[in-house]
Chains A and B, each alone.
Chain A
Amino acid sequence: MDGTLGLLGGTAGGGSGGGGGSTTGSASTVSKEDNLVMSSEVSSPYPDETELELGLGLSLGVGGGGLGSNSKLAAAPWGQYARILTAKDFPSLVSKSSSTSSSLVTKANSSTAGTKRSASDSPLNGASQVVGWPPLRTYRMNSLATQAKAPTAEDFSSPCEENESKNAVVDRTTSGSNKNPHNAKEIFFVKTSLFVKVNMDGVGIGRKVDLNAHNCYENLAETLDDMFFTPTTTITARWSSVEENDVMTEASGPSKLLDGSSEFVLTYEDKEGDWMLVGDVPWGYVASSCYDIYVSAL
Chain B
Amino acid sequence: MVPDPKRCNSCKDSASSRDSPEWTRPSAFPDEVLDRVLSLMESHKDRSSVSLVCKDWYNAERWSRSHVFIGNCYSVSPEIVARRFPNIRSVTLKGKPRFSDFNLVPQNWGADICAWLAVFAAAYPFLEELRLKRMAVSDESLEFIATSFPCFKSLSLLSCDGFSTDGLKSIASHCKNLTELDLQENVMDDLGGGWLSCFSENFVTLEVLNFASLNTDVSFDALEALVTRCKSLRVLKVNKNITLEQLQRLLVRAPQLVELGTGSFQQDLMPRVYAELESAFNNCKNLHTLSGLWEANFLYLPVLYVASASLTFLNLSYACLTSSELANLVAHCPSLRRLWFAVIIVSKTEVLDTVEDKGLEAVGSSCPLLEELRVFPADPFDQDIVHGVTESGFVAVSRGCRRLHYVLYFCRQMSNAAVATIVQNCPDFTHFRLCIMNPGQPDYLTNEPMDEAFGAVVKTCTKLQRLAVSGLLTDLTFEYIGKYAKNLETLSVAFAGSSDLGMQCVLGGCTKLRKLEIRDCPFGNAALLSGLEKYESMRSLWMSACNVTMNGCRLLAKEMPRLNVEVMKDDESDDSQADKTGSGHQYKIPVMTELTCTQILKIASLETARK
Give which listed residue, A55, A57, A147, A172, contacts B344 with CB less than 8 A: A147
A selection of 16 A-B contacts at a CB cut-off of 8 Å is: A4-B495, A12-B598, A17-B573, A18-B99, A26-B587, A60-B108, A61-B136, A62-B114, A79-B582, A143-B317, A145-B380, A170-B274, A178-B267, A179-B267, A185-B266, A201-B575
Asked whether A281 is an interface residue with its Cβ less than 8 Å from the other chain, the reply is no
Contact assessment for A132 and B102 in the assembled complex, using a CB-CB cutoff below 8 Å? yes
The listed residue (A7, A39, A115, A177) touching B440 by CB distance below 8 A is: A7
Q: Please encode chain A, from 120 to 136, with 1 for each CB lying within 8 Å of some chain B CB and 0 for all others.
A: 11111111101111111
A65 x B380 contact (CB < 8 A):
no
Instruction: List 4 A-B pairs, minimum CB-CB distance, nearest first.
Output: A61-B110, A14-B545, A3-B440, A13-B573
A227 to B385, CA, bound (A): 19
In the assembled complex, the Cα of A13 lies from the Cα of B438 at a distance in Å of 18
Q: Are B571 and A38 in contact (CB under 8 A)?
A: no
Does B243 contact A179, Cβ atoms closer than 8 Å?
yes
Partner of B295, one of A10, A22, A66, A189: A189
Asked if A33 and B299 make an inter-chain contact with CB atoms under 8 angstroms apart, the answer reads: no
Q: Is B437 in the interface zone, CB < 8 Å from A?
A: yes
The answer on a CB contact under 8 Å between A186 and B266 is yes
| Contact flag A27-B106 (CB < 8 Å), given A12-B598, A144-B376, A151-B347 | yes
- Find out whether the CB atom of B103 lies under 8 angstroms from the CB atom of A19: yes
- Decide if B553 touches A30 in the complex (CB within 8 Å): yes
B438/A60 in contact, CB under 8 A: no
Residues of B within 8 A of A204 (CB): 572-573, 598
Q: Which of B568-611 contact A (CB under 8 A)?
A: 568-575, 580, 582-587, 594-600, 606-610
A179 to B297, CA, bound (A): 13
Q: Which parts of A137-182 form the interface with B (CB within 8 Å)?
A: 137-141, 143-145, 147-148, 150-152, 158-159, 166-167, 169-170, 172-175, 177-179, 181
Give which listed residue, B189, B376, B495, contacts A110 with CB less than 8 A.
Answer: B189
Contact assessment for B107 and A20 in the assembled complex, using a CB-CB cutoff below 8 Å: yes
Contact A183 B297 (CB under 8 A): yes
* B580 contacts A83, C-beta separation under 8 Å: yes
CA distance A33 to B191 in the complex (A): 39
Residues of B within 8 A of A120 (CB): 103
Chain B binding surface, main DSSP class? loop
Q: Which residues of A contact B (CB under 8 A)?
A: 3-4, 6-7, 9-22, 24-30, 32-33, 35-39, 41-42, 44, 50, 52, 55-58, 60-68, 75-79, 81-84, 107, 109-110, 112-117, 120-128, 130-141, 143-145, 147-148, 150-152, 158-159, 166-167, 169-170, 172-175, 177-179, 181, 183, 185-186, 188-189, 193, 195, 199, 201-202, 204, 210, 238, 240
Residues of A within 8 A of B580 (CB): 24-26, 82-84
Q: Given A41-B58, A58-B584, A107-B189, do A12 and B595 touch, yes or no (CB 8 Å)?
A: yes
B103 to chain A, nearest CB (A): 4
Residues on B with beta carbons closer than 8 Å to the beta carbon of A33: 557, 561-565
Q: Please give, as numbers and ranges, the residues of chain A lying within 8 Å of B297 by CB-CB distance.
A: 166, 169, 181, 183, 185
In the bound complex, how far is the Cα of B107 from the Cα of A61, in angstroms?
10
Residues of B within 8 A of A26 (CB): 569-571, 580, 583-587
- Residue B190 contacts which of A76, A109, A185 (CB distance < 8 angstroms)? A109
Find chain B residues with CB under 8 A from A20 CB: 103, 105-107, 109
Residue on B nearest A112 in the bound complex, by CB: B215
Give complex CA distance A132, B118 in Å: 34
- In the bound complex, residues from chain A placing their C-beta under 8 Å from that of B563 are 33
Contact A38 B76 (CB under 8 A): yes
A210 to B381, CA, bound (A): 10
Shortest distance between the CB of B115 and any CB in chain A (Å): 4
Does A181 lie within 8 Å of B107, measured CB to CB? no
Most chain A CB within a 10 A radius of its CB, from B78, B385, B575, B610: B575
A238 contacts across to B, CB distance below 8 A: 573, 575
Central interface residue in A109, A140, A195, by most chain B CB within 10 Å: A140
- The distance from the CB of A264 to the nearest CB of chain B, in whole angstroms, is 14
